[in-house]
Amino acid sequence: MFKYIAVQLIGLTGLTGRLAAALEFWIYDTLKISVILLGVVFAVSYLRTYLPPEKIRDFLKGKKAIVGYALAGVLGIISPFCSCSTVPLFLGFVGVGVPFGMTITFLTVSPMVNTAAVFVLFGSFGWGLTLAYVLGGLIVGIVGGAGLKLLGFERYVVDFDFAANEEEDVDASDKSARQRLRETYEDAREIVSRIFPYVVIGVGLGAAIHGFLPEGFIQNTLQGALAVPAATALGIPIYTNIMGVIPVAESLIGKGLPVGTSIAFMMSVAALSVPQFVLLKQVMKKNLIIAYGGIIGFGIMILGFIFNLIF
Amino acid sequence: MKVEILGSEGCSTCTQLKEDVQNIVGEMGKEDEIEVVKVDDPAKFASYGVMSTPALVADGEVKFKGTVPSDEEIKEVLS
C-alpha cells in the first residue's frame, strides 16, 4: 500500500531515474516507519502502564541465572526507554538486588531490540532476518551480562545508596482507564517526538544511498574479513535511534552489503555510542565501561561473522 | 514547602513537569511558600528510591514517579 502511494506520488512529479528512485524510497519508508512507529509505540505504551520498572525489577530480583538472564533480555525488548533513564534504572536495579549481570543484559538489549524496531525490521526485511536480529541481540546481551559478571567487573560499579524503603505498593492494577490513557499519551508523545528526527535523517540517508550509490560500489569496497569489525567500529561514534539506522541498513543491503555486516552495524549504532558511555560514567568506573564496550562489541562482531556465513 | 523535580538531562517530560508545577504554583499564588527545584543527579534519585523519571518529591517525600501527573494531582500535593 505504501509502495503504491509512493509510486503514484512520484508519477505525479514526472521524475525519472535516480532522483525518482531516491524520492520513492524516501516517501515509502517515511510512511511505513511512521505508521508502524505510531501504532506500536501507542500499543506498547499502553501495555507498559501495567508494567512499571519497579515491577520488572521485582520479577528479576529472585530469579535463577538461566531464567533470569533470558527474562532480563525479553524485558529489555518490551521496554523501550529513553537513554536518559538508563542511569536511574541501573541504580534502581542494582540498588535493590537485581543481579549485576542481568542488569547489564537488560540495559544492552533495551536500546538494541525494541518492539517498534521488530515490526519495522519485519516490514523491511521479512521474518528470517528479523528473527536473526532479535535472537542475536538477546544472545549478545546475555553473553555480555553473564561475561562481565563472571569476570568480576561488578566491583567497578560506583558506590551509591539506594533508598530501599520500597515495600510500598508497586501494584499497577489500580489505575483508572482514563489515567492509563493519559499516561499512554504522554509517554507515546515523548517517545515519538524523540525518535522521529532520527527516522527522518535515517530515511533521508537511506534514500540517498538507494538512489545515488553506484551498483557495485559496496562489492568493490566493503567486502572481506575486515568489513564486520569496520562496521562495528563505525557504529560507535554514530549516535542515533535503532529506528533511524534501519532504513540505512535497508538500502545498504539492497546495494549488496552482506546481512551480517549490516546487522553488526545496526547493533553497534544502537548499543554502543559515545553519549551512552558518558552517561554510564556516572555509575560505572572506567574499567567497567571499557570492558562493557569491549565485550558487547566483540559479541556483535562474532554475530556479524556468523550471519554472513548463514545468509 | 520544597518541591524537587527529579529528571535526567535530555528528558523532555521532566522539563515539562517542572514548568507545569511552576505554573500551578503561580496560579495558586504560592510563589513565596513553595520552592521548586530541578534535580538531575542520578545518585540523588537513588537516595529517594526513584528509578523512573520524571518524579516529584515534596519535602523529601516521593509523590509521583515515572509519570507526568495531571494538574489536579499536582494541585492536591501542593495544597
Q: From CA A279, how far away is CA A87, in angstroms rounded?
A: 7
Q: Which domain holds residue B14?
A: 2-66
Q: Which domain holds residue A238?
A: 2-159+176-310
- Does residue A164 fall inside a structural domain? no
pLDDT at A133: 92
- Does residue A28 fall inside a structural domain? yes
pLDDT digits (tens, 9 = 90+) for B17-57: 899 999 999 988 888 888 999 998 888 888 888 888 888 99
- Phi then psi for residue A93, to 5 deg, are -65, -55
> Residue B33 maps to which CATH number?
3.40.30.10
Number of structural domains found in chain B: 1
Laid out side by side, the sheet with B35-39 consists of B35-39, B2-6, B55-58, B61-65
Residue B13 has its nearest CB partner, among A88, A161, A186, at: A186
| CB < 8 Å to B70, chain A | 182
> Among all residues of B, which ones are annotated catalytic?
11, 14
pLDDT at A304: 93
Which cell goes with A207? 534514500
When comparing pLDDT for A63 and A310, which is higher? A310
- Does residue A123 fall inside a structural domain? yes
pLDDT at A148: 94
Q: From CA A195, how far away is CA A36, in angstroms rounded?
A: 13
pLDDT digits (tens, 9 = 90+) for A137-193: 999 999 999 999 999 999 988 887 777 655 554 555 567 788 888 888 888 888 888
**At a CB cut-off of 8 Å and minimum separation 6, what does A188 contact?**
A38, A41, A42, A45
Which cell goes with A91? 541504580
Contact B51 A186 (CB under 8 A): no
Whether B63 has its CB under 8 Å from any CB of chain A: the answer is no
- Phi then psi for residue A166, to 5 deg, are -85, 65
- Does residue A223 fall inside a structural domain? yes
- Does residue A231 fall inside a structural domain? yes
Greatest mean pLDDT range, A12-26, A30-44, A49-63, A184-198: A30-44
Q: From CA A20, how far away is CA A213, in angstroms rounded?
A: 14
Q: Is the pLDDT of residue A85 over 80?
A: no
- Does residue B76 fall inside a structural domain? no
pLDDT digits (tens, 9 = 90+) for A43-84: 888 887 888 888 888 888 877 778 889 999 988 888 766 666
Mutate to test the interface with A, among B5, B12, B20, B51 (most CBs of A within 10 A): B51
A168, amino acid identity? E
Q: Is the pLDDT of residue A2 over 80?
A: no
Length of chain A: 311
A236, amino acid identity? I
- Are B44 and B6 within 8 A, CB to CB? yes
Give the mean model confidence (pLDDT) for residues A233-250. Answer: 89
- Phi/psi class of residue B9: alpha, beta or left (left: φ > 0; alpha: ψ in -120 to 50)? beta
- How far does chain A reach from its first CA to its final CA, in angstroms? 28
- Does residue A155 fall inside a structural domain? yes
- Phi/psi class of residue A97: alpha, beta or left (left: φ > 0; alpha: ψ in -120 to 50)? left
Contact A83 B10 (CB under 8 A): yes
Q: Is the pLDDT of residue A265 over 90?
A: yes
Q: From CA B52, how far away is CA B64, in angstroms rounded?
A: 10
The pLDDT mean for chain A works out to 85
- Does residue B14 fall inside a structural domain? yes
- Number of CB atoms found within 10 A of residue A79's CB: 21
Residue B51 has its nearest CB partner, among A92, A186, A193, at: A92
- Are A245 and A265 within 8 A, CB to CB? yes
- Are B48 and A163 within 8 A, CB to CB? yes
Of A104, A137, A102, nearest to A118 by C-alpha is A137
Evaluate the CA torsion angle A129, A258, A201, A107 in order and state its sign. positive
| CB < 8 Å to A196, chain B | none
Q: How many Å is the Cα radius of gyration of chain A?
A: 20
On whether ipTM exceeds 0.85, the answer is: no
Q: From CA A38, how far away is CA B55, in angstroms rounded?
A: 25
DSSP code of residue A153: G
- Does residue B74 fall inside a structural domain? no
pLDDT at A248: 92
Taking CA B55 as the corner, what is the angle to CA A282 and CA B34, rounded to the nearest 5 degrees?
Answer: 115
CA atoms within 13 A on the CB side of A1: 4
- Does residue B71 fall inside a structural domain? no
In B38-57, the residues whose Cβ lies within 8 Å of chain A are 42-43, 45-53
Whether B29 has its CB under 8 Å from any CB of chain A: the answer is no
Contact B45 A91 (CB under 8 A): yes
Work out the minimum CA distance from B32 to partner chain A, whole angstroms. 30
Q: From CA B18, how far away is CA B38, in angstroms rounded?
A: 7
Range of weakest confidence among A95-99, A137-141, A214-218: A214-218
Number of structural domains found in chain A: 1
Give the mean model confidence (pLDDT) for residues A116-142. Answer: 91
Residue B42 has its nearest CB partner, among A54, A193, A282, at: A282
Q: Is the pLDDT of residue B3 over 60?
A: yes
Which cell goes with A107? 540495559
pLDDT digits (tens, 9 = 90+) for A251-262: 999 888 999 999
Residue A284's DSSP bridge partners are A157
pLDDT at A84: 67
Residue B57's DSSP bridge partners are B4, B62
Q: From CA A195, how far away is CA B27, in angstroms rounded?
A: 34
Give the pTM: 0.84
Which cell goes with B37? 527545584
